């Protein structure tokens, strides 16, 4: 069982600002699971590479059901910083399918 999605941060900013993104995640027990749930295109852990200038988008993949509390912090390098929390609920599937499902 696993669940995955892509999370994207889209802050409004001056075009000449260089933004730095820091993504963190905790589980229901308040344990830091940042190194476990953020993955690359191959599904491999990003490890400590969850911050940087080119991380406005990140892939999240949970190995088990539960609630995950993510935060993205965006810094403009000029003293302005903002945090945005994201809660993700991962549930066990109620059926198995090998076909893609489109939910509307």
Q: Which residues of 7-44 are buried (b: 16+ CB within 10 A; e: fewer)?
A: bebeeeeeeeeebbbbbbbbbeeeeebbebbbbeeeee
**pLDDT above 50 for 1:** no
Asked if residue 103 has pLDDT above 80, the reply is: no
Q: Is residue 38 part of a domain?
A: yes
Q: Read off the pLDDT band of 96 (50, 70, 90).
A: low
Which domain covers residue 30, as residue numbers? Answer: 3-10+18-90
**pLDDT at residue 85 above 60?**
yes
Q: Is 101 inside any structural domain?
A: no
In total, how many domains does the chain have? 1
Q: Is residue 56 part of a domain?
A: yes
| 102 pLDDT tier (thresholds 50, 70, 90) | low
- Residue-wise pLDDT for 3-17, tens only, equals 678 888 887 766 778
Question: How many Å from the N-terminal Cα to the C-terminal Cα in the chain?
Answer: 23
Are the C-beta atoms of residues 27 and 33 closer than 8 Å to each other? Answer: yes
Domain holding 36: CATH number? 2.60.40
In a domain, 36, yes or no: yes
pLDDT digits (tens, 9 = 90+) for 66-80: 999 999 999 988 888
Give the residue-averaged pLDDT of 73-92: 89
Q: What percent of the chain has pLDDT over 90?
A: 37
Residue 25 lies in a domain: yes
């Amino acid at each position: 069982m696993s669940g995955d999605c892509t999370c994207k941060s889209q802050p409004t900013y001056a075009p000449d600002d260089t933004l730095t993104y820091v993504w963190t995640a905790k589980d229901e027990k308040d344990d830091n699971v940042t190194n476990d749930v953020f993955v690359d295109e191959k599904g491999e852990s990003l490890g400590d590479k969850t911050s940087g200038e080119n991380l406005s988008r990140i892939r999240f993949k949970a190995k088990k059901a539960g609630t995950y509390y993510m935060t993205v912090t965006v810094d403009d390098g000029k003293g302005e910083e903002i945090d945005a929390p994201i809660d993700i609920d991962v549930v066990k599937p109620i059926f198995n399918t090998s076909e893609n499902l489109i939910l509307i």
